[in-house]
Amino acid sequence: MATPRTRKWLVTTGAALALVLAAGLYGLAQQTDEAKRDRTVAAPGGTYHVLPATLETTQWGWLDPKEPPKLVVSSGDTVAVETMMHAHNKIQPGTTMDEIVALRKANPGGGPHSVTGPIHVNGAEPGDVMEIRILKITPKAFGVNFNLPGKEFPTIGALASEMPDGFVRYFYLD
């Protein structure tokens, strides 16, 4: 149980923190439209590209550095990149652990991830620093978490020994 001195310190500190936060938020709200606009991350004058996630534009389980570019852009361009779920979108709600195991065995050596790209930037050379701004992320309608069966894949995952039969759970997002 907190002593009266501790309670007084907590109340005083909490009130001071609330005052500082309120002042900061008020200051942000009072900025001019020009100051707000200067912080936006739009690419001025660049071209807008869309890179859809298809079997031709994604790699399943690894990112091969020798893979030819799926899109070529210039500095300042904006790119909308679509992604797939695990195993080239083959893991969907209702996919059983047996089906996930079969997918893994059909793709030995790679992970479950599907990666879109690569994207080549004109004029970029090895060692260059690139600034990438993420303007928006739109999640899929669901997510999935799974561990492969430890009895079949004893060296994959930190919990393999604790999940001999595997585990899969789907999450619906709102």
- The Cα–Cα gap between 164 and 117 comes to 35
Split at pLDDT 50, 70, 90, the class of 80 is: very high
Please say whether the beta carbons of 117 and 51 come within 8 A. yes
Give the pLDDT of residue 12. 52
In whole angstroms, what is the distance from residue 103 CA to residue 114 CA? 13
Q: What is the spatial distance between Cα 98 and Cα 161, in angstroms, rounded to a whole number?
A: 18
Q: Distance between CA 154 and CA 130 in Å, rounded?
A: 39
Residues 6+ apart with CB under 8 A from 83: 53, 114, 116
Q: Could you tell me where the beta strands, DSSP code E, fall in 14-123? A: 48-51, 58-60, 71-73, 78-81, 114-116, 119-121
Mean pLDDT for the chain overall: 80
- Using pLDDT thresholds of 50, 70 and 90, give the confidence band for residue 154: confident
- pLDDT higher than threshold 70 for residue 94: yes
Share of the chain above pLDDT 90, in %: 58
Using pLDDT thresholds of 50, 70 and 90, give the confidence band for residue 51.
very high
pLDDT over 90 at 44, yes or no: no
Which residues, including other chains, have CB under 8 Å from residue 120's CB and lie 6 or more apart? 69, 71, 72, 73
Residue among 79, 5, 9, 6 at smallest CA distance from 41: 79
Question: Could you tell me which residue, 131 or 157, shows the higher pLDDT?
Answer: 131
What pLDDT is attached to residue 157? 80
Task: Look at residue 36 in the predicted model and tell me its pLDDT.
Answer: 37
What is the pTM for the complete model shown?
0.66
pLDDT score at 5 = 57
Q: Which residue has the higher pLDDT, 5 or 156?
A: 156
pLDDT at position 8 is 60
Q: For 16-35, how does the pLDDT look when each residue is reduced to its tens digit (9 = 90+)?
A: 444 434 444 444 444 444 44
Residue 119's nearest CA partner among 60, 62, 75 is 75
Rg, C-alpha atoms of the chain:
24
Phi-psi region of 100 (alpha: psi -120 to 50; beta: other; left: phi over 0): alpha
- CA torsion 88-89-94-99 (nearest 10°) is -10
